[in-house]
Amino acid sequence: MKLVDLSPGDLTSLMPMEKIVESLDDNAEGAIDMAAWESVVAQVNERLVALCGSADAVRDRAPRYAAKVFAAQTLYVRRGFAGQDNPITALANAQERALAGNVSGGAVVQEQTAFGMGGSRRVVS
């Protein structure tokens, strides 16, 4: 079930493209293995459903930024950076809290890029 569709290029604000390719190059060909990418997207979608409570809730919230953060975190794990060694962990934890909380009116979530903080947006839950 693909609720949020992403491409590897969608993550370049969180991780350099060369690292994305390294993370997804399971065949050591210097290119993204699309089966590996599809596995990452499936994991992200499962995580979103677990946090939001249902597929319908994911569709209602359209958590595209959170999906990108979770995908980047997964790619860093594939590169051997787990827990606090993963530069995306704190950001992913914040996204989990924002999605898991059911605050009326939504929670303000700061978007972060590899170069620092970006704009804020309201996540309506």
Residue 91 lies in a domain: yes
Residue 119: predicted pLDDT: 44
What is d(CA 120, CA 111) in angstroms, rounded to the nearest whole number? 6
Q: Is residue 2 part of a domain?
A: no
Write out the residue range of the structural domain in which residue 40 sits: 8-123
Residues 6 or more apart whose CB falls under 8 angstroms from that of 91 comprise: 14, 69, 73, 112
pLDDT at 1: 63
Q: What is the pLDDT of residues 9-44, one digit of tens each?
A: 999 999 999 999 999 999 999 999 999 999 999 999
Domain count along the chain = 1
Residue 3 inside a domain? The answer is no
Q: What is the pLDDT of residues 77-89, one digit of tens each?
A: 999 999 889 999 9
Q: What is the mean pLDDT of the chain?
A: 83
Beta-carbon contacts of 47 under 8 Å, excluding residues fewer than 6 positions away, are 70
pLDDT at 122 over 70: no
